[in-house]
Chains A and B, each alone.
Chain A
Amino acid sequence: MTTPPIVCDALGHEYAGGVLALKPTTLTIQPGEVLGVVGQNGSGKTTLVKHFNGLLRPTSGRLLINGEDARPRPVHDLARHVGYVFQNPNHQLFATTVEAELRFGPTNLGLTPETVAERVQQATSFFGIEKLLTSHPYRLAFPLRKLVAMASVYAMGPDVFVLDEPTTGQDHAGSNMVRKLIERLREQGKTVVIVSHDMALIAEVADRVLALWAAEVIASGSPRAIFAEDRVMQRTKLYPPQITQFARRWAPASTRPLPLTVAEAAAAVLGEER
C-alpha cells in the first residue's frame, strides 16, 4: 500500500491570543485523491490547508507528510512535496518574464540548471503557455496570471497541490480551464486539495468533500452524499450546485442518485422519458 501524502493526527491550531481556529482534526488524504474543502469564511478551511506545507504549525497533534513528521521541516523544504497556489496571483508574481517566474521555484529547490529547464518545459506544455513565456506577468489578463501562478507551482514538481479559491474572479472560460487542469492533475496521479466556495466546481471534480463549520470538520463524504445532507448544508449555510437544488425540488422523493451536474440531470431526464 502506498503511503498517504498527508495525514493529520488530531491536528489543531490556536492562534496567539487564544482564538481556536481549528479543533483537533484527524484526516488522511489518499494519493491521487481530489479533496474539496468547503465552509463559510472563518470556518477554518484555510487554517487547515495552511498546515499542509508548514505555513502554519499545529499547536496540538501532528502532521505527517509522506509518513514523516513535518514538524522539523521548514516551508521551503516541504514545498517540494506540497505546492500551495495562493488565491491572488498578484501576491506571488514578481519576475519580469513568465519564464523567470517559472524558474524561481525549482531553482529555490536547488535543482541543477538542466533539471530546472526541464521542469519549466514540462510546466509550460502542461499549462499550454508556450506563447506567454516572454510576456511580463503583470501585463497578462487575470485568468492567465492565475494560470502562470499555478504553473510556477507545478514546475516545482510537488505530489500534492493545494489550490486556494482557484475559480474566484474567473469568468466561465477561466473556470472551465481550471476544471480541466484539475482533471489532468488527477490523470497524472497528483493529489489535489481545493478550498473553494464554488460548489459547482467541487461537485464536479472532488472525490471527497470536507465540510467545516466553526473550526471543526462536521462532515466528510462524497459530494453526492454531502450535498444531499440537509443538516450539513443548513449548518454551513452552503447551497448545493443550482442543478442539484433544482433536481431535489423537482423529484424530492427520488431514490435515484442526486445529479451534481447539468449533464447528469439531463441524462436522468432522458432516461426517464425513454
Chain B
Amino acid sequence: MAQHLPIPVVFVPRNSFFHRLHPVPKLIWAVGAIVMAFATRNPLVLLVLFVLGILFIAGAGVMRAYGRVMLVLFPISLSLIVFQALAPAFPQPWTPIAGFGPFTIYQEGIYSGLSLLLRTFAGSNFAVLLVLTTHPADLFTALQKFGVPHELNFMVSASLQLIPIVQREFQIVLSAQRSRGMRATGFGAAIPSMVPVFAGTIERVQQLAMSLESRAFGSKGAKTSLREVRASAKDVIFGLIGIVVTVAVTVLVLQYQAQLDWSKTPFMPDWVSVALVAVAALTFIAFTIALWWRASRE
C-alpha cells in the first residue's frame, strides 16, 4: 500500500500563470526543449535550459511534486556520470585526469556524463511542467481543435488512466502473494505477480471496450467537451516565444558547434571532477542500498 508509492507525475491543481496557459504553447515548449537538448552537448547551454525549466516549475508552484519525482530519478541518473567517467561514450584516445586503483576517470567521460545528465533533465523538465500544470482533458480538447482525431486522444488518455489502476492492481497482487509467503524481491517474484496483473488488465480493457460501445463511443459526428479551452494573446505570445527560442538556440548551437564542443577542454578543475564522480557514485550506491533494504524488510 503506502510503502510503494508510484512516481507521482500527475496534474497538480493550482492557479498559476502556467496553469492558466493554453496547453498548446506548453506543448511547444516541451517539444522545443527536447529539440534544443539534443542539438548540443555543451554543459553550459544545457545547464541554462535546465535552470530555466526549474524556474518555470517553481513559478507554477509545483516544486514539491517535481521534487518527489526527482527524489527517485535523480539518484538513478547520477549513475550516468559514474559510468561515463569510467568508460566514456567517445572515440579513444581519452584524457585521464585521476585514478583510484583499477579505475581511471577521463575528461571526456566527465563531459559526456554531465551532458547526458543535463540533457535528460533539461529536455524533460518542460514536459514535466506540461503534465503537472495541465488538466489531461484540457490537453486533449486542445489537441482535438488542432485536428487530432478523438479516438486517438481517447486512446492516449485511457492508457494514461490505466497506469495508476494497474499500479494499484499490482500492489494488491503483490500483497496477495506475499501473504502466501512470497518474498517481494528477486526473479522468483516475477511470474506470480505479473500473471494476475496482466490477466486482470486484459479483462479490464475488454470490459472497458464493451462499456464504451454501449455508451455510443463509435457514433459519428463531432464530439463536444465539458471543459472549454480558449486561447488569448498571452498564449499566442508564449507559444511564439517558444518557437523563436527553439529555432534561434538550435541554429546558434549548430553554427558554433566547434566552439561549444568542450570534450577536450578542461572546463572544471580536476579536483571538482573527481569530487563530482565520487559524490555521484556514493549517492547512487546509497540509493540502491536504501531501495534494496526497504524491499527486503517487507
Q: A86-B175, A104-B180, A156-B180 are in contact. Are A15 and B192 (CB under 8 A)?
A: no
Q: B191-205 interface mask toward A, CB cutoff 8 Å, 1 = contact, 0 = none?
A: 111111001100100
Q: How far is the CA of A80 from the CA of B182 in the complex (A)?
A: 11
List B contacts of A93 (CB < 8 A).
Answer: 196
Q: Return the contact of A152 from the options B169, B172, B180, B195 (Cβ within 8 A).
A: B180
Say how far B12's CB is from chain A's closest CB, in angstroms. 14
B interface residues, Cβ below 8 angstroms from A: 1-2, 5, 169, 172-173, 175-184, 191-196, 199-200, 203, 297-298
Cross-chain pairs A/B with CB under 8 angstroms, 25 sampled: A50-B1, A50-B175, A53-B179, A55-B178, A55-B179, A74-B183, A75-B298, A76-B178, A76-B182, A79-B179, A79-B181, A84-B176, A86-B172, A88-B172, A90-B203, A91-B169, A91-B172, A92-B177, A94-B195, A105-B180, A108-B180, A108-B183, A109-B181, A138-B199, A156-B181
The answer to whether B179 touches A86, judged by C-beta atoms less than 8 angstroms apart, is yes
Q: A86-B175, A90-B200, A91-B173 are in contact. Are A105 and B1 (CB under 8 A)?
A: no
The answer to whether A55 touches B175, judged by C-beta atoms less than 8 angstroms apart, is yes
List B contacts of A79 (CB < 8 A).
Answer: 178-181
Beyond A84-B179, A86-B172, 4 additional pairs, beta carbon < 8 A: A76-B181, A79-B180, A79-B181, A152-B180
Minimal Cβ-Cβ distance residue in B for A162: B179
Asked if A233 is an interface residue, CB under 8 A from chain B, the answer is: no
The answer to whether B1 touches A55, judged by C-beta atoms less than 8 angstroms apart, is yes
List A contacts of B196 (CB < 8 A).
Answer: 90-94
The answer to whether B200 touches A153, judged by C-beta atoms less than 8 angstroms apart, is no
Q: How far is the CA of A79 from the CA of B179 in the complex (A)?
A: 6
How many residues of A sit at the interface, in one of the four size bands? Answer: 20 to 34
Of A53, A75, A84, chain B has the most CB atoms within 10 Å of the CB of A75
List A contacts of B191 (CB < 8 A).
Answer: 94
Asked if A83 is an interface residue, CB under 8 A from chain B, the answer is: yes
Of B176, B192, B194, B195, chain A has the most CB atoms within 10 Å of the CB of B176
Looking at chain B's contact residues, the main secondary structure is: helix
List A contacts of B5 (CB < 8 A).
Answer: 16
Of B176, B180, B182, B184, chain A has the most CB atoms within 10 Å of the CB of B180
Say how far B27's CB is from chain A's closest CB, in angstroms. 31
Q: A75-B298, A86-B175, A91-B173 are in contact. Are A15 and B180 (CB under 8 A)?
A: no
The answer to whether A153 touches B180, judged by C-beta atoms less than 8 angstroms apart, is yes
Minimal Cβ-Cβ distance residue in A for B5: A16
Of B1, B5, B178, B297, chain A has the most CB atoms within 10 Å of the CB of B178
The answer to whether A104 touches B172, judged by C-beta atoms less than 8 angstroms apart, is no
The answer to whether B178 touches A90, judged by C-beta atoms less than 8 angstroms apart, is no
Asked if A199 is an interface residue, CB under 8 A from chain B, the answer is: no
Q: How far is the CA of A250 from the CA of B294 in the complex (A)?
A: 59
List A contacts of B193 (CB < 8 A).
Answer: 94
List A contacts of B297 (CB < 8 A).
Answer: 74
Q: How far is the CA of A93 from the CA of B192 in the complex (A)?
A: 8
Of B181, B196, B200, chain A has the most CB atoms within 10 Å of the CB of B181
Asked if A56 is an interface residue, CB under 8 A from chain B, the answer is: yes
List B contacts of A76 (CB < 8 A).
Answer: 178, 181-184
Minimal Cβ-Cβ distance residue in B for A16: B2
List B contacts of A106 (CB < 8 A).
Answer: 181
Q: How far is the CA of A114 from the CA of B197 in the complex (A)?
A: 31
Q: How far is the CA of A15 from the CA of B200 in the complex (A)?
A: 26
List B contacts of A105 (CB < 8 A).
Answer: 180-181
Q: How far is the CA of A180 from the CA of B2 in the complex (A)?
A: 36
Q: How far is the CA of A259 from the CA of B192 in the complex (A)?
A: 45
Q: Which 9 A-B pairs have the closest CB atoms?
A: A108-B181, A94-B195, A92-B176, A84-B179, A105-B180, A75-B178, A79-B181, A16-B2, A86-B176
Say how far A159's CB is from chain B's closest CB, in angstroms. 15
Say how far A75's CB is from chain B's closest CB, in angstroms. 4
Q: How far is the CA of A56 from the CA of B178 in the complex (A)?
A: 12
Q: A55-B1, A104-B192 are in contact. Are A92 and B173 (CB under 8 A)?
A: yes
Q: How far is the CA of A76 from the CA of B188 in the complex (A)?
A: 14
Say how far B289's CB is from chain A's closest CB, in angstroms. 18
Say how far B205's CB is from chain A's closest CB, in angstroms. 14
Minimal Cβ-Cβ distance residue in B for A82: B179
Minimal Cβ-Cβ distance residue in A for B191: A94
Q: How far is the CA of A162 from the CA of B78 in the complex (A)?
A: 44
Minimal Cβ-Cβ distance residue in B for A86: B176
